[in-house]
């Protein structure tokens, strides 16, 4: 039985920084030419990963550690765990980032200008159910986690991505589409920590998008 679940969003990646700059400048694309799985941490992200390690130092040793196979999550885990005598991370593709398919690396302006049909389809279906060509919808990510969560035992730490954490909350809170989209409106910060602990027969949220350790 899963007794506690701690989920860490990876530190800022060069893709996160490029997206922020693209949104400020009105550009159509960001992080062009780099496979999503290979996008590294930025210097800020590496500092955030080290800060996560400081937070984990005061926590009990977990039974297992899981990690997304994507580079930005792997390096976050490596830096955070470097001074800890903890289990080695087990890589699991089910906690990888959401696949964007054809729309990978594009801003909303880029999608509208380059793929107007997909832009209209996303508006018609809404953010929750829209699945880009070759990519995943939010429920697709939730289905991955519905398969993984029952396998976990004891106290578990996961280094992962914002959509995986959001969909875990969707599952454990038994949330509706409207409720989870409202939660999503406050984005998960890079290097943030979200936590659930067992309370009787259910896991109870005890911290979400925590960032005090980063300051």
Burial of 173: CB neighbours in 10 Å, binned 0-12, 13-18, 19+:
middle
Q: Which tens digit of pLDDT belongs to each residue from 115-144? A: 999 999 999 999 999 999 999 999 999 999
Structural domain total, the chain: 1
Q: How far is 166 from 91, CA to CA, in rounded Å? A: 19
Angstrom distances, CA of residue 156 to CA of 33, 153, 160: 35, 7, 13
- Dist. CA 154–CA 170, nearest whole Å: 21
Judge residue 82's burial from the number of C-beta atoms within 10 Å of its C-beta, 0-12 exposed, 13-18 middle, 19 or more buried: exposed
Beta strands at 2-9 and 90-91: parallel, antiparallel or unpaired: unpaired
Q: What is the CATH number of the domain that holds 119?
A: 3.40.50.1240
Number of neighbouring beta carbons within 10 Å of residue 81: 21
d(CA 31, CA 33): 6
Under 8 Å between Cβ of 46 and 132: no
Helix axes 162-172, 177-184, angle to 10 degrees: 140
Query: Given this model, what pLDDT does residue 53 score?
Result: 98
CA gap 39, 146 in Å, rounded: 27
Flag whether pLDDT at 33 surpasses 90: no
Coil, strand or helix at 37: helix
CB 41 within 8 A of CB 72: yes
Number of H helices and number of E strands within the chain? Answer: 8, 6
Domain containing 136 equals 2-214
**Residue 215's pLDDT band (boundaries 50, 70, 90)?**
confident
**Alpha-carbon distance 62 to 185, whole Å?**
31
Q: Is the dihedral of CA 176, 195, 149, 134 positive or negative?
A: positive
Paired with 6 in beta bridges are 157, 195
More confident site: 32 or 155: 155
pTM of the model: 0.97
Q: What is the mean pLDDT of residues 180-206?
A: 97
């Amino acid at each position: 039985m899963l007794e506690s679940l701690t989920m860490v969003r990876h530190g800022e990646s060069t893709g996160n920084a490029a997206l922020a700059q693209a949104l400020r400048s009105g550009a159509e694309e960001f992080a062009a030419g780099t496979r999503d799985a290979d996008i590294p941490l930025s210097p800020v992200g590496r500092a955030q990963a080290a800060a996560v390690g400081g937070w984990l130092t005061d926590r009990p040793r977990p039974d297992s550690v899981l990690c997304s196979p994507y580079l930005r999550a792997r390096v976050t885990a490596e830096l955070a765990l470097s001074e800890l005598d903890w289990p080695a991370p087990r890589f699991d593709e089910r906690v990888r980032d959401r696949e964007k398919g054809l729309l990978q690396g594009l801003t909303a302006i880029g999608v509208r200008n380059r793929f107007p049909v997909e832009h209209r389809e996303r508006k018609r279906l809404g953010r929750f159910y829209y699945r880009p060509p070759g990519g995943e919808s939010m429920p697709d990510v939730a289905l991955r986690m519905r398969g993984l969560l029952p396998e976990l035992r004891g106290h578990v730490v996961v280094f992962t991505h914002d959509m995986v954490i959001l969909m875990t909350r969707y599952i454990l809170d038994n949330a509706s589409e409207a409720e989870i989209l409202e939660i999503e409106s406050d984005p998960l910060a890079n290097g943030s920590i979200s936590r659930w602990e067992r309370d009787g027969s259910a896991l109870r949220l005890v911290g979400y998008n925590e960032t005090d350790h980063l300051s």
